[in-house]
Structure 1
Amino acid sequence: MRERSIPAVAFLGLAVFALFALFTGACEEEVEVRPPPPVVMEAQPPGPAANPNTLYDEEGNLLESDVVVAGLRLPRGFELTAEVDRRHVYDSHVPIEKIHRYFGPRLITGQVDRHGDGATFREAVPREARGGIVKLDVSITPRNRTTTRIEIRELLPEPANPLSEDEIIRRWAAEEPLLD
């Protein structure tokens, strides 16, 4: 067996190192790293709730306004026509079906009187009312082909200590002679 000389082993090691450096250097390309281009977002038009002149949402339902009467938030598109004591009257050109669809879920009542295309929610309580709750009679009445009237009457609360039947009869008997 023949011994290899150290220069041959060194030459062989140098050759392996050169090949390794050549192949690893060939695999690496110089790549310029650039940041991704900025994403340009197109401006979206404001949604219907952002535009105060819009009456309906995307599904055709009336949007709420900033007007609140005795805990009941009114929809957009209503104009105050009269307000006396506890009576509030509004007119609108919104179709009456959409008005019914708006108020129905917002009023809690056990009595709804239908009259033609209109309706009256009797002794109703606004669903989202907080604090001193006032019962309301809310009437939705068509005025003509294009106008609907909403009348909201705040009902007086029942007295905390109502008079008994005997007390009412006694007071009536005492005042009856004075009526002549």
Structure 2
Amino acid sequence: MQYNPVEMIGQSIRSIPDWPKQGVTFRDITPVLQNPRTFRMLIDIFVARYMQQQLDLVAGVDARGFIIGSVIAYELNLGFIPIRKKGKLPFETVGEEYHLEYGQASVEIHVDAVKEGQRVLLIDDLIATGGTLLAANRLLNRLGANVVEAASIIDLPDLGGSTLIKETGLPVFSLYSF
């Protein structure tokens, strides 16, 4: 029996109907993270993809992007940049507002998080409308980063986020689409 890691990861993603509101199906990656085999496969896929990319940093978006982004950074021997929700970082920050599927929010980054020209992988767990990753990309660009790709575990292409990100010229990689 042949196994397909991407398929195994996809089968581990839990779908929760009508959460956080009626008509929305939440895609929950916690079962992927709870199982050491699927968690390792997930990280190994990303590490294999980026190990030859000559990156300087991995930037992960609050909060699930922290989980996978920090592990990927560790495995690639790179630094990690947290992109946080507004008001969560203790040092001087720059921020960017964006629209969510169900409202508006803001993300921030430390002003000294990246140096001019550094090559950065931007990662989050999911691309829906693309607002969070677009805002994070704008923040990194404002600080002089060269964001090489926006990556995620899950893409929800019907919501158009990955298309919007690609339209900015930023390549997108997602492991699994719903």
TM-score range, shorter chain: under 0.3
Q: Greater strand share, 1 or 2?
A: 2
TM-score, normalised via structure 2 length: 0.24
Q: Which has the higher contact order (CA 8 A, sep 6+)?
A: 2
TM-score, normalised via structure 1 length: 0.24
Computing the radius of gyration from Cα coordinates, the structure with the larger value is 1
